[in-house]
């Protein structure tokens, strides 16, 4: 038995730091090999031989598990990249391309199978990237999918839209700023699994207990999937006309094609989950007759900007644009009066985050004249490293998305003063450059004026300033809240992890009654 106190979050040790002989040997072995290979320290071979001779650390396990030992030094990171701008802004098809099979496997081979895999630590789902990357490199796509699916219920979603916290924590990001392409590998593995029919409907023995899931976003879908597999009879209540939550009615099709959601839903239904659409459920009036409840209703209230002129026609919440556009692409029709469109207009997006970026890409595809995006906070640091949040944490650095690349004026430290209009319609937004100075009493910095007010001409403006964290009344012991409804607006991968936890808690609760 070996003991490790070097890392508190390694998958190869238990909470007490105990490692099995095999994983412990492998860990020591890898660390040495990596140092030798990167630095050409031949004298380390002597230490290695001593270890092999006296501590019986050998190459055996490593040879079996790590496919291409020096690939991370020989194969550069290669991203599939996006479709050319002139092509992609003509339609709402997914912008991201794919690599051919050979290149994909070579990318997977770059994984060093680190002794302490920080990718695994950084992924909220605890995805075991070293394991499935290795299977992918060796061409065992089915094994790669099984390993991936063990922790990730729907890797076809995260493979497309996860910001890949794992890649920022990859050791190759620390050393070379060229992490393993985990997210793309994940998408490729999952598409192969669908294509090759590795994903088939399963039958699960029922345990006679029932669970209601309220809200069919990623959190609710994962909870439903896990509980269904455990034998519970699951009914999902969803207020919208279809499932997916923000995957379907927030994230644009050019990032996530909705057929990807439909394909998974068809499987979940075939496996026995019942979906009831157009059925809003109030938290204080849950449907009767279920043994337990999962509330996964997301963050329904967007943050508003109560400046004068807010009522003008042309000022919209981001989701009014995004959800309607996704519905239009699904075949729904809207009157000219109700249609939210940027066609032929100068667009202003207030809010510098990802939702704002989705408004930019959508506006381009609708045929806008121009887009400006303003943000009240300072411009984030440029470059790969964030000195305030160093590796392996996710760096809060300037992010340029595919939508930004399509054309956009971006400004920071800009405060919104007033919406200006004529005959009830928006014609511009009065803004002012500001700055932030430290608060002598601590806490939030103080905003100060840093320039003259000016008017940004626009006929349509989207408010993309985040969502309010929901408050919940105290719930009975058989009710479990998860996803954004529990944590506030976050990421799909975190919502999925939270849905998985909720399913575990439901199971433990029901078993505790037996
Ligand atoms: C525009 C936009 C783009 C985003 N892009 C990304 C991205 O690229 N990558 C990423 O990781 N994250 C992204 N996010 C965040 C991500 O979408 C959310 O964190 C995630 O969807 C939260 O999942 P959830 O299941 O908790 O909630 P939601 O996805 O919000 O789902 C909640 C569901 O509950 C339903 N519901 C609500 N109230 C009721 C009720 N009373 N009765 C019945 N049903 C109800 C809703 O209709 C919805 O279907 C984005 C968010 C937005 C807004
Ligand atoms: S879900 Fe996201 S963080 Fe986790 S392995 Fe996949 S890309 Fe990385």
Whole-number Å distance, alpha carbon 460 to ligand 1 midpoint, is 24
On whether the CB atoms of residues 463 and 351 are closer than 8 A, the answer is yes
Ligand 1 pocket check: which of 186, 251, 321 to mutate, most ligand atoms within 8 Å of Cβ?
251
On whether the CB atoms of residues 189 and 148 are closer than 8 A, the answer is yes
- What CATH architecture is 210-301+469-512? 3-Layer(bba) Sandwich (3.50)
pLDDT score recorded for residue 61: 44
Ligand 1 pocket check: which of 402, 492, 498 to mutate, most ligand atoms within 8 Å of Cβ?
492
Whole-number Å distance, alpha carbon 137 to ligand 2 midpoint, is 18
Cβ neighbours of residue 482 under 8 Å, at least 6 residues apart? Answer: 219, 220, 223, 294, 295, 296, 495, 498, 499, 501, 502
Ligand 2 atom closest to residue 186's alpha carbon, by position in its atom list: 6
On whether the CB atoms of residues 231 and 204 are closer than 8 A, the answer is yes
pLDDT score recorded for residue 12: 54
DSSP alpha helices (H): ranges in 162-310? 165-169, 171-176, 182-195, 218-229, 246-249, 258-270
Helix axes 354-366 and 318-329, enclosed angle (nearest 10):
50
Smallest-distance ligand from the CA of 492: 1
Ligand 2 atom closest to residue 165's alpha carbon, by position in its atom list: 3
Q: Can you read off the two tokens belonging to residue 512?
A: 């505790």
DSSP alpha helices (H): ranges in 140-245? 141-151, 155-161, 165-169, 171-176, 182-195, 218-229
Residue 140's SS3 state is: coil
Tell the residue number behind the tokens 């496996």, with chain if given. 271
Whole-number Å distance, alpha carbon 470 to ligand 1 midpoint, is 13
Whole-number Å distance, alpha carbon 106 to ligand 2 midpoint, is 19
Q: Can you read off the two tokens belonging to residue 379?
A: 């411009």
pTM for the whole structure: 0.90
Q: What is the 3-state secondary structure (H, E, C) of 305-358?
A: CCCCCCCCECEEEHHHHHHHHHHHHCCCCCCCCCCCCCCCCEEEEECCCHHHHH
- List b or e across 195-223, with b for residues whose CB sees 16 or more CB atoms inside 10 angstroms: eeebbeeeeeeebebbbbbbbbbbbbbbb
Q: Can you read off the two tokens belonging to residue 217?
A: 């976003």
Q: Do the domains spanning 85-195 and 210-301+469-512 agree at the CATH topology level? A: no
DSSP 32-68: HHHHHHHHT-THHHHHHHHIIIII---SHHHHHH-S-
Smallest-distance ligand from the CA of 125: 2
Q: What's the DSSP call for residue 153?
A: S
The span from the CA of 70 to the CA of 30, in Å, is 12
Residue closest via CA to ligand 2's atom 2 equals 164
* Sequence ranges of the domains in the chain: 2-56, 85-195, 210-301+469-512, 315-463
pLDDT score recorded for residue 60: 40
The span from the CA of 380 to the CA of 396, in Å, is 7
Q: Can you read off the two tokens belonging to residue 426?
A: 């928006």
Name all residues whose Cβ lies below 6 A of ligand 1. Answer: 161-162, 214-220, 237-240, 245-247, 250-251, 255, 280-281, 296-298, 300, 322, 354-355, 358, 483-485, 489-493, 495
Ligand 1 atom closest to residue 250's alpha carbon, by position in its atom list: 1
Using alpha carbons, select from 267, 266, 151, 283 the residue that is nearest to residue 212.
283
How many Cβ atoms are within 10 Å of 360's Cβ, its own excluded? 26
Residue closest via CA to ligand 1's atom 15 equals 491
Tell the residue number behind the tokens 């997210």, with chain if given. 183
pLDDT score recorded for residue 69: 84
Smallest-distance ligand from the CA of 223: 1
- What CATH architecture is 315-463? 3-Layer(bba) Sandwich (3.50)
Q: Which of these CATH numbers, 3.40.50.720, 3.90.226.10, 1.10.1060.10, 1.10.1050.10, describes 85-195?
A: 1.10.1060.10
pLDDT score recorded for residue 154: 98
pLDDT score recorded for residue 38: 46
pLDDT score recorded for residue 62: 44
Whole-number Å distance, alpha carbon 115 to ligand 1 midpoint, is 35
pLDDT score recorded for residue 72: 92
How many Cβ atoms are within 10 Å of 181's Cβ, its own excluded? 25
Whole-number Å distance, alpha carbon 317 to ligand 1 midpoint, is 15
Cβ neighbours of residue 62 under 8 Å, at least 6 residues apart? Answer: 26, 29, 30, 33, 69, 113
Instruction: For the chain, 514 residues long, give each residue's pLDDT as a single digit of tens.
Output: 455 544 444 455 554 555 544 455 455 555 544 444 445 544 544 554 455 444 544 444 444 556 788 899 999 999 999 999 999 999 999 999 999 999 999 999 999 999 889 999 999 999 999 999 999 999 999 999 999 999 999 999 999 999 999 999 999 999 999 999 999 999 999 999 999 999 999 999 999 999 999 999 999 999 999 999 999 999 999 999 999 999 999 999 999 999 999 999 999 999 999 999 999 999 999 999 999 999 999 999 999 999 999 999 999 999 999 999 999 999 999 999 999 999 999 999 999 999 999 999 999 999 999 999 999 999 999 999 999 999 999 999 999 999 999 999 999 999 999 999 999 999 999 999 999 999 999 989 999 999 999 999 999 999 999 999 999 999 999 999 999 999 999 999 999 999 999 999 999 999 999 8
Ligand 1 atom closest to residue 483's alpha carbon, by position in its atom list: 26
Name all residues whose Cβ lies below 6 A of ligand 2. Answer: 123, 125, 127, 129, 152, 158, 162, 164-166, 182-183, 186, 493
Cis peptide leading into residue 392 (ω within 30°): yes
Residue 150 CB-density burial (10 A; 0-12 exposed, 13-18 middle, 19+ buried):
middle
The distance of Cα 169 from the centroid of its chain, to the nearest Å, equals: 15
Using alpha carbons, select from 248, 10, 194 the residue that is nearest to residue 120.
10
Residue closest via CA to ligand 2's atom 6 equals 183
Cβ neighbours of residue 39 under 8 Å, at least 6 residues apart? Answer: none
Smallest-distance ligand from the CA of 190: 2
Q: Can you read off the two tokens belonging to residue 473?
A: 């009344």
The span from the CA of 220 to the CA of 238, in Å, is 10
Helix axes 182-195 and 101-109, enclosed angle (nearest 10):
130
On whether the CB atoms of residues 214 and 286 are closer than 8 A, the answer is yes
Ligand 2 pocket check: which of 125, 161, 170, 188 to mutate, most ligand atoms within 8 Å of Cβ?
125
Whole-number Å distance, alpha carbon 492 to ligand 1 midpoint, is 8
The span from the CA of 177 to the CA of 385, in Å, is 9
Residue closest via CA to ligand 1's atom 39 equals 297
Whole-number Å distance, alpha carbon 418 to ligand 2 midpoint, is 40
pLDDT score recorded for residue 31: 52
Report the C-alpha dihedral over residues 271, 276, 277, 281, rounded to 10 degrees.
-130
pLDDT score recorded for residue 43: 52
Using alpha carbons, select from 300, 269, 266 the residue that is nearest to residue 283.
300
Whole-number Å distance, alpha carbon 187 to ligand 2 midpoint, is 10
pLDDT score recorded for residue 404: 98
* Sign of the alpha-carbon torsion through 41, 46, 50, 53: positive
Ligand 2 atom closest to residue 127's alpha carbon, by position in its atom list: 5
Smallest-distance ligand from the CA of 499: 1
Smallest-distance ligand from the CA of 356: 1
Cβ neighbours of residue 122 under 8 Å, at least 6 residues apart? Answer: 165, 166, 168, 169, 392, 394
């Amino acid at each position: 038995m070996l003991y490790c106190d070097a890392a508190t979050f390694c998958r190869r040790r238990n909470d007490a730091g105990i490692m099995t002989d095999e994983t412990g040997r492998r860990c020591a072995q890898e660390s040495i090999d990596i140092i030798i290979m990167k630095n050409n320290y031949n004298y380390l071979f002597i230490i290695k031989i001593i270890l092999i001779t006296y501590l019986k650390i050998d190459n055996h396990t490593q040879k079996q598990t790590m496919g291409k030992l020096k690939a991370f030094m020989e194969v550069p990171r290669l991203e599939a990249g996006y479709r050319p701008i002139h092509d992609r802004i003509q339609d709402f098809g997914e912008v991201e391309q794919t690599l051919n099979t050979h290149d994909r496997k070579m990318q997977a081979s770059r994984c060093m199978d680190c002794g302490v895999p920080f990718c695994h630590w950084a992924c909220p789902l605890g995805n075991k990237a070293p394991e499935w990357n290795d299977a992918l490199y060796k061409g065992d796509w089915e094994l790669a999918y099984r390993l991936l699916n063990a922790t990730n219920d729907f890797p076809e979603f995260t493979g497309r839209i996860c910001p890949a916290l794992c890649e920022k924590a990859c050791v190759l990001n620390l050393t070379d700023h060229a992490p393993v392409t985990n997210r793309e590998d994940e998408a490729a593995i999952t598409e192969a699994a669908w294509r090759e029919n590795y994903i088939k409907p399963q039958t699960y023995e029922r345990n006679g207990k029932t669970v209601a899931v309220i809200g069919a976003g990623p959190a609710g879908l994962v909870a439903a999937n896990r509980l269904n597999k455990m034998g519970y009879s699951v009914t999902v209540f969803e207020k919208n006309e279809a499932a997916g939550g923000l995957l379907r009615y927030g994230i644009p099709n050019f990032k996530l094609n909705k057929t990807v959601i439909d394909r998974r839903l068809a499987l979940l239904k075939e496996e026995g989950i019942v979906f009831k659409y157009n059925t809003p459920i109030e938290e204080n009036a849950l449907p009767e007759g279920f043994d337990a409840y999962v509330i996964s209703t997301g963050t329904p209230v967007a943050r508003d900007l109560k400046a004068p002129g807010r009522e003008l026609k042309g000022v919209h919440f981001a989701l009014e644009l995004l959800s309607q556009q996704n519905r239009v692409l699904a075949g729904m029709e809207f009157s000219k009066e109700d249609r939210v469109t940027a066609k032929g207009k100068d667009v202003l997006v207030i809010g510098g985050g990802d939702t704002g970026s989705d408004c930019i890409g959508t506006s381009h595809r609708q045929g806008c004249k121009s887009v400006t995006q303003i943000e009240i906070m300072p411009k984030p640091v440029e470059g790969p490293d964030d000195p305030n949040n160093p590796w392996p944490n996710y760096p809060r650095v300037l992010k340029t998305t595919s939508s930004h690349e399509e054309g956009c004026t971006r400004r920071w430290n800009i405060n919104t003063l007033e919406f200006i209009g004529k005959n009830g319609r928006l014609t511009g937004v009065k803004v002012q450059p500001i700055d932030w100075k430290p608060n002598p009493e601590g806490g939030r910095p103080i905003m100060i004026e840093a320039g003259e007010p000016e008017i940004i001409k626009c006929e349509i403006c989207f408010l993309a300033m985040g969502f309010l964290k929901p408050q919940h009344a105290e719930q009975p012991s058989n009710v479990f809240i998860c996803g954004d409804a529990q944590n506030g607006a976050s990421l799909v991968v975190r919502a999925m992890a939270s849905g998985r936890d909720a399913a575990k808690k439901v199971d433990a609760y029901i078993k505790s009654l037996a």
